[in-house]
């Protein structure tokens, strides 16, 4: 497994490159602090292997509890109601396995095609490199970060603006550690969308292109009104002449899956 590294960014003219100051870590896999999960329990829906074949046809699979040690403990999902984005098999099919996740990440990670540029009035942003074209519908990468219990599981709230939540599972917080997707800024005319999907019996948060994206174009998605109302400031993208709240100044507040700042 690759070690954490430091992010590097180009200036806005792509002439000079500089390191982005720590403690921000550039990671290639989710990470977690087991202490954060000391009072939380991971639930795995898969029965013990030795008795699985005998009991599966007669009884419902019972959840078994175990201490949280790895990202798989938290993100694992064994269900006949989900379909793997890589192999197309249902989540309870034994032929769908962790290799699906590894292969999907290998096939669809575009970090080698992305430049981080900045700082600007929006901070840092994610841009396609010179000569790079992305196609409509293309999967771009997974949103990575530190896996943390949901606020309702711990009684604590988070002030992080880099926090995406998988409902009922966990939060993915890229404030201190993440991959290039943490630099995707908000825009009211986005070219990518955020999805909650399943790959290799695992919950994932993925970005997908809404249209063709050309060389040296910034990758952006709409954070939504709830993000800006929670953060206490307005969107300043160039879709409108003035600072604004996406969807209108008086749009009703409602929680969304992801609260994210670039």
Q: Is residue 87 part of a domain?
A: yes
Q: Please check whether residue 1 lies inside any domain of the structure.
A: no
Residue 67 lies in a domain: yes
Q: What is the pLDDT of residue 66?
A: 64
In a domain, 2, yes or no: no
Looking only at the bridges linking them, the beta strands covering 220-221 and 185-186 are parallel
Query: In this predicted structure, what is the pLDDT of residue 251?
Result: 42
Task: With respect to residue 125, please indicate whether it lies within any of the assigned structural domains.
Answer: yes
Q: In this predicted structure, what is the pLDDT of residue 49? A: 36
Q: What confidence score (pLDDT) does residue 65 get?
A: 56
CATH number for the domain harbouring residue 156 = 2.170.270.10
List the domain range (segments joined by +) for residue 248. 8-260
The sign of the CA dihedral 49, 54, 57, 59 is negative
Position 36 scores a pLDDT of 87
Could you give the count of Cα atoms lying within 13 Å of 113 in the half-sphere of its Cβ? 18
DSSP-assigned letter for residue 156: -
Question: In this predicted model, which residue has the larger pLDDT, 17 or 158?
Answer: 17
Looking at per-residue confidence, does 37 or 132 come out higher? 132
Average pLDDT in the 160-168 region?
A: 92
Q: Which residue has the higher pLDDT, 48 or 117?
A: 117
Supply the pLDDT for residue 225: 87
Share of the chain above pLDDT 90, in %: 63
Q: Does residue 3 sit within a domain?
A: no
Mean pLDDT of the chain: 84
Average pLDDT over residues 90-101: 93
183 located within any domain: yes
Domain assignment of residue 189, yes or no: yes
Instruction: Please give the sequence-ordered ranges of beta strands (E in DSSP) within 61-138, or none if there are none.
Output: 64-66, 114-120, 123-128
C-alpha–C-alpha distance, residues 257 and 144, integer Å: 15
pLDDT at 58 over 50: no
Q: How many domains does the chain have?
A: 1
pTM (2 d.p.): 0.82
């Amino acid at each position: 497994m690759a070690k954490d590294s430091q992010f590097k960014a180009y200036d806005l003219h792509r002439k000079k490159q500089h390191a982005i100051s720590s403690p921000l870590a550039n990671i290639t896999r989710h990470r977690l602090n087991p202490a954060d999960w000391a009072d939380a329990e991971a639930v795995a829906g898969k029965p013990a292997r030795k008795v699985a074949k005998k009991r599966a046809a007669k009884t419902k699979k019972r959840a078994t509890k175990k201490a949280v040690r790895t990202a798989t403990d938290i993100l694992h999902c064994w269900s006949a109601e989900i379909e793997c984005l890589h192999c197309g098999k249902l989540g309870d099919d034994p032929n769908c396995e962790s290799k699906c996740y590894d292969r999907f990440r290998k096939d669809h990670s575009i970090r080698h095609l992305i430049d981080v540029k900045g700082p600007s009035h929006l901070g840092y942003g994610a841009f396609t490199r010179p000569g790079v074209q992305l196609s409509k519908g293309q999967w771009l990468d997974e949103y990575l970060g530190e896996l943390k219990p949901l606020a309702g599981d711990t009684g604590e709230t988070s002030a992080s603006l880099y926090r995406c939540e998988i409902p009922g599972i966990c939060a993915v917080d890229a404030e201190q550690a993440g991959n290039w997707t943490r630099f995707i800024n908000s825009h009211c005319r986005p070219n990518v969308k955020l999805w909650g999907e399943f790959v290799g019996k695992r919950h994932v948060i993925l970005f997908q292109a809404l249209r063709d994206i050309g060389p040296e174009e910034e990758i952006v998605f709409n954070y939504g009104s709830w993000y800006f109302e929670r953060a206490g400031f307005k969107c300043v993208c160039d879709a409108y002449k003035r600072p604004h709240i996406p969807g209108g100044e008086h749009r009703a507040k409602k929680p969304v899956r992801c609260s994210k700042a670039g």
